[in-house]
Chains A and B, each alone.
Chain A
Amino acid sequence: MSSLITRVKRNQIAQLIAKGKRLDGRGLTDIREIKVEQGIIERAEGSARVLLGRTEVMVGTKIETGEPFSDTPNEGVLTVNAELVPLASSTFEPGPPDENSIELARIVDRGIRESKAIDVEKLCIEPGKKVFVVFVDVYVLNHDGNFIDASALAAVAALLNTKMPNYEVKEGEVKMKSGYVPLPMKRHPITVTFAKINDKLIVDPWLEEEQVMDARFSMAIDDDGNICAIQKGGSGYFTPQMVLEAAKIAKEKTEEIRKKLKW
């Protein structure tokens, strides 16, 4: 973003931030209001919609049976895909996933995978042959900045809401039984994103801030306050001191969110 308008806007935003203020009235480390709704798509095995301010993300999960990876024969498979749907923003275009949606999918995936959120060993039906495959599809419906945190949150909310088919093994045969059991979840990773504008860090950037930021930085924190995934993005840089400061803020912020959501 380098048009004259964004440069003017950038100055305005940077001047406000220097005074500890933001365009939308938040403090530098305040997160926008979070709303989580679960179970909104009946046809999906699990679903959730998250509103982070005006950013809106829907996640649906589907469960199928399939083959495990050869290096993890006793574990179910997690597959995350993300779509930046064209109706969400004038800057999203139809077509195959671009690097932004692939990066988003991989950030969401990393948070869930590295925190060991799903008890994947319980998704094994027959070691080496048959396991449950969990598909997590992230759908960004309205882009008003920081769809990373909203997507990560919606993905975990949808997984918590996911039912999987009930089955039993009789004489070596797998038989599906009626009814469903909840997807075995162990952890609830929460992701917090920072933006750097000039030499200041802000939490949960909204669209206008994202358009003028130098770089961003997302951190997933697990239930014990450990860091489980990080991704820096954007063409700017961070100093080592900023990164370490951000880690501390991220820990506090996720505790705050965790309390609100009772995760």
Chain B
Amino acid sequence: MSQKPEKLIDKKGLRLDGRKPDELRKIKIEVGVLSNADGSAYIEQGKNKILAAVYGPRELHPKHLALADRMVIRCRYHMAPFSVQERKSPAPSRREVELSKVIRESLEPSIFLEYYPRTGIDVFIEVLQADGSTRCASITAASVAIADAGIPMRDLVVACSAGKVDDTIVLDLMDEEDKLGMADVPVAFMPNANAITLLQMDGTLSLEEFETAVNLSLEGCKKIYAMQKEALRAKYVLLKEDEE
């Protein structure tokens, strides 16, 4: 284990990785990285490395889960045993069950579920390496994968965390800030619909700090949203040019 740093923010106001409080980590999004899936995406955010794949719309199994008037979304968030410092058992933990649920609920409002009655889609998320705020990066990637699968959507869902570290409100928590910080607020957002689709928090924040943190994470979301669109454009513009 690495040594616990004493301060998460130095005298110059910079964070462990040299970022300013309101700065995002380096983000890379790739679309269509898996050939078997109907849609897929890969994201790197700091040291996070996460794959998301979408299968469907397709017939649901078991069939009794199907709904007469809309599509069903299933979601599995899973961490690879080698994704964290100490090996994680591959069996789904309670944390993973909860995250699968809240991630699914964060994606549902973005999809025109009623267009595909009696069907289902499966969203599979594999965290290959974890570096804090994995649920946010997972949502960002999963939404791009859903778009890549050609499923009609109201908007992309983009997620970003904010938190409190050494009494400062900061954007996009990395692993150490998540573990040793004072609060963590992950937010998922649909910018065009002005809709928050995931909101969690742990730690301690006053009402004013909470408001600052939510607004900061929404700013972060808007920046990542541009990257999501750019990544989709990169794949599909290339495809179009190939055809021409």
The finding on whether chains A and B are genuine partners in a shared complex, rather than unrelated, reads yes
User: Per a CB cutoff under 8 Å, which of B193, B195, B206, B214 touches A244?
Assistant: B214
Q: Which partner residue on chain B sits nearest A231 by CB separation?
A: B200
The answer to whether B203 and A232 have CB atoms under 8 Å apart is: no
The answer to whether B94 and A237 have CB atoms under 8 Å apart is: no
Does A110 sit within 8 A of B, measured CB to CB? Answer: yes
The answer to whether A238 and B199 have CB atoms under 8 Å apart is: yes
A234 to chain B, nearest CB (A): 6
The answer to whether A227 and B210 have CB atoms under 8 Å apart is: yes
- Interface range on chain B: under 10, 10 to 19, 20 to 34, or 35 or more? 35 or more
The answer to whether A102 and B69 have CB atoms under 8 Å apart is: no
- How many residues does chain A have at the interface if contact means C-beta atoms less than 8 Å apart? 34
Does A114 sit within 8 A of B, measured CB to CB? Answer: yes
Give the distance in Å from the alpha carbon of A3 to the alpha carbon of B123 in the complex: 26
- A-B interface contact total, Cβ < 8 Å: 97
Q: Which of A114-171 contact B (CB under 8 A)?
A: 114-115
User: Per a CB cutoff under 8 Å, which of B109, B193, B204, B214 touches A222?
Assistant: B204
Does A235 sit within 8 A of B, measured CB to CB? Answer: yes
- The interface of chain B, by Cβ under 8 A from chain A, is 67, 69-70, 94-95, 97-98, 100-102, 105, 108-109, 185, 190, 193-207, 210-211, 214-215, 218
- The interface of chain A, by Cβ under 8 A from chain B, is 2, 99, 102-103, 105-106, 110, 113-115, 215, 217, 222, 225-240, 243-244, 247-248, 251
In the complex, 18 of the A-B residue pairs with CB atoms within 8 angstroms, ordered by the A residue number, are A2-B69, A2-B70, A99-B98, A102-B98, A105-B94, A106-B98, A110-B202, A114-B204, A226-B204, A227-B204, A228-B202, A230-B202, A231-B199, A232-B105, A233-B105, A236-B109, A239-B194, A243-B196
